[in-house]
A and B are shown apart, each in its own frame.
Chain A
């Protein structure tokens, strides 16, 4: 079985509501995601203007990760061996559609480089790594639905082999009107058990 690991903090964002460690920290009336994200950004007081260049998936991942990492005092100023292991079902589909629209019309053909760079699901990992200076391992899986067991196995592997001290893992999904993020930080020490049961409970809360 090996050493047991624990969840230190977790955050979820869906339906314009942010929960940090199970407690609501922010709620907005804005149904438009960009407007919601801007309000949340200001509320959390992030101070990172590049945020506004990100696509929806990256904004969602960034906000969620920011809350967890800040809560756990993981900052860009001190090197931290925090790996990132995310998954979703829709990949980068939300932005893919925008790119596709921009190349569809031969007469009004102006694809945007700033949109194209986000047509990969793992760019959001890059954005988080850039801000927090994480030169660590990162991986992005595509599943049909949230499957904690697979993330647990990968995470344990990283921690057991001491490839990472912490692993930020979870689910970040953005598809048109629906979005949900659920990220949790796993380490040797923490308050909750790193088990499928616990993770699913937190995910569904």
Chain B
């Protein structure tokens, strides 16, 4: 059974990104510590992605690359230290940095090289420091790194000299990146740097190799990219913290006024605000595409959820962003955004955009959205509606109107009458449609209140001084030197190869197991060992059968089963109690090992004898548990040695013509028998079958015999058609078959003409005085029927 439970409506504001509350607040993550020790890269940490594009003097990102190799040498006389560092700037390729954009600490110093997909510089790593008398010993790292392939990475080589005793030799180097890694931009389909978050999302989704291209909604992505571009929402950041892709997509989208959507199974982004065809925020009247009324809503199909107080209370949004001057290190700014006249003294809610937001308007618009949606959007709605014309037209993002009549006072009619944005559509197999809707507040002119608030939100444009008074520590002229870094490097030999580091698990081919099933038997389902002893085979009247139950003080029950009900001993044992004749039941005492005995009588002739046992069970009403079989005999026969005379008494069925016949008494010496089928042609002989052209069976008879004490024989012609011939069935004989085709009674001749059955069927009767019948027996079992192929 399958249960399908829709997500609670209360989750909708969270799933749709309407409610975005930062879980933690702290120092701006976009801040760089300028004077810290140089960071070394550790195996396993993510390769950073520098993603930015400075346009119109806005954007770019300040990064502090880690070092992978170092070389330390000093002058044997002056002790001047020369430091070489090899740094990884980013995954991917990017434009050459400019000399004005590379720093050690806050100073533009050093000699720099930049390359891609190989090692920058040609120096060999190592510590070659020697002690110079009368100077300070340079305590440089001893493990200076080995070389790698630097596959698909932008790398840097930095070199600088430090006079004896200079304590800045090991400080962090920094770069201001104006153009990050090259990607194919979705908006102009051009390879180059990008500041569009959609390009970054697509890059990450594709690079993560976890999402097929067919499941990307590239149309929605392009629309979202245009929305970001038109409204100045740019990504200028270094992506370096390991995270979950879906988490990141969800969190980053709200900071670009987008929401992640799952349209037809395809992942995409959609603006949180109504937009025009050109991507600008729509500030004109909104026309709903459909109006839902009582005619559409199914019974119990209306569910409303108001957004809780904690998500409605006005806040002062503290939006952190990064002011980035053209020729200087950027600074973190905090923009304070609130609805007019509210939250003058808080509460504050901090949104840290400093890792990627480098424009004030972006920060202000995001802040305006957060405070405005808190102020205006009050509830969400779930409607279950019957299928109708909107089935094929309504799509996610459409604006609809819900107008439902409400009468709670006599003579007064009110309406639930609001606009909503379709957030989710669930079309069930039953045909019903479930719509998850988010309140879409409008003003008196039908314009989106949230859209108006965000569209109008722009920053004051105040440029905050950086606080730096001079650039004395720079090499002179560097602050305006736009010379690109020299592209120089090497593909070092002797680095480990993939064969040195990788191991591929060989793929085996799965096969089904062989056909042998050899399970151990379950003793609880096996037959309990036991049997009937004391009898000959076949058992004879007058013999004594004995059964010992498998438990002390057990009980034995005896039954007989007619040969007319069961065709074999196994079938007899499987019969139900109602098919059996009860003989006797004997509960045994402590001397149970002797078992229960049964003397076979004339009543048992032509019967299978079945014995069942049961063990003591005080919980059972009769004190014994279930009966289980412990033995079954073959058919009981009379002891023919006890009688002098026998005769046959029965009927002759010649294809439906039935006559009775009783033979004379015969003083037999060994046995009597009824003969089988014989062919009366040129060479008369007993046969079991007659075949026609092509091996077609025309006539089938019983075993040739002689079968001692066989009392019945049957033959059949299984095909339509007159095939003629001369055959004979039956005949009473003693100690051997009659000569073939003898006409001794009870017998008759047969020709093959249509589908028919012939039989001689009767019993043996025994007597010692030719008048009193002492026993009657149906004869030997299993040899009467025709042998069919």
| A joins B in a complex | no
